[in-house]
Amino acid sequence: MRVGFIYFHALGDNVMMFDALLALKKIYDCELIVFGNALFAHLLEYCDFVDEVVDIRNDIQAHLDVIDGYHLDYVVLPKCKREYLIPLKRSNVGCIIAPLKLSNILTPRCKTPSILSFLRHRAMSMREKALWLCRVINPKKFDTQIGCVDWQEAQIRTSPAHQTRTTEFLNKHIAPRSMCQSHLIFVCPFNVSASHTLSVLGFLKLIEAIGQIKNCIPFVVTYPQVHQHFVASVEEFERKGGNLQSLIVYQNNDDVLNLIECVARSQCLIAPSTGPIHIASNLSIPTIGLFAQDHLREWATKDRRYVILPKPLASMTSEEECAIIEQTLEVFEGLLHSGGIGGF
């Protein structure tokens, strides 16, 4: 059996598909081809549960001949827009598995989860919905074998070069501190699309407070588009009396696998609803999500530990932001004292 999986989205979206890909491979023992974007291809570069990744550059129509060349028995389409489905209806794919929508139910060669599961489907996270689509291929076999899947195998993998680079960097910056057991706390002040987050100043206050907790080392990974501005913000914060001496900043290039390896070395990650928190969730790193209420279902992390941001940053007062920082610190210290955070 040959199965295609079509998905080409942002970092967090792509990461949340890893469990579904592993389930397809382990349960159906299929030949699995992912049709994605360059980012998804790079994320899957060192994973062994996918047979091939094809970069279709976010365009199914322009690559329909490529898809047809694989003579697929099934295509799983977790996000099903009209412009995705129309060309696939002209393809030679045996069966298109798509989310539970009336238009999909009425489309020839398109299978969806049972309409009886509508309410259950609506309550699922993005990760759970993708798994539910995989079940459509053979519900009985899926239900029998899903409990045998080792989800640790779905973790994103990096190369020895990425691992060595990260080890050398952290050893250089942590060893001189002479801590018997350091807790590396990854804080992500950056996001592309989340309206509910903290200001840069708010994150620096949070980082300062974490750095004052015994054996806790705040850790930020920058990338080219934000590095200069973040470093300038740190310098300005310290000029005004702030103390960020314990902060470690890793200046990344555009290689997302360096980011992943840095997350993997952390003992906890604090971030808004953005890519790094879903990387941490995939890697079973404890997370604290700074989330809007309406992100809790679709973008759920595996440990579902959140601080709810009631307003977008644009309408948040400084007093409200300070209250969120205090709440985040309470959640973090509770996790630390319960033994939920390991050591470096």
Last-in-domain residue among 99, 121, 154: 154
Query: What's the pLDDT score for residue 313?
Result: 96
Shared domain for 134 and 221, answered yes or no, is: no
pLDDT of residue 193: 84
Q: 120, 154, 188 — which closes off a domain?
A: 154
pLDDT reported for residue 204: 99
Q: What is the pLDDT of residue 263?
A: 99
Range of the domain at 20: 2-154
pLDDT of residue 179: 56
pTM of the model: 0.96
In a domain, 344, yes or no: no
Same domain, 198 and 298: yes
Task: For residue 343, tell me if it sits in a domain.
Answer: no
Please report whether residue 237 resides in a domain. Answer: yes
The pLDDT, as a whole number, for residue 196 is: 96
- Residue 178's pLDDT is what? 57
Please tell me the predicted confidence (pLDDT) of residue 280.
Answer: 99
> What's the pLDDT score for residue 25?
99
* Pair (308, 171) in one structural domain: yes
Among 125, 154, 183, residue at a domain's last position: 154
Position 118 scores a pLDDT of: 82
As averages over each run of 10 residues, the pLDDT of the chain (344 residues) reads 98 98 99 98 98 97 98 98 94 96 89 88 93 98 98 98 97 75 93 92 99 96 98 98 97 98 98 96 98 95 97 97 98 95 80
Summarised one tens digit per residue, pLDDT across range 237-248 is: 999 999 999 999
The 8 Å CB, 24+ separation contacts for 43-48 are 43/11, 43/14, 43/15, 43/156, 43/256, 43/257, 43/260, 45/159, 45/257, 46/157, 46/158, 46/159, 46/257, 47/18, 47/21, 47/156, 47/157
The mean of the pLDDT values for the chain is: 96
Q: Considering its fold, how many domains does the chain have in total? A: 2
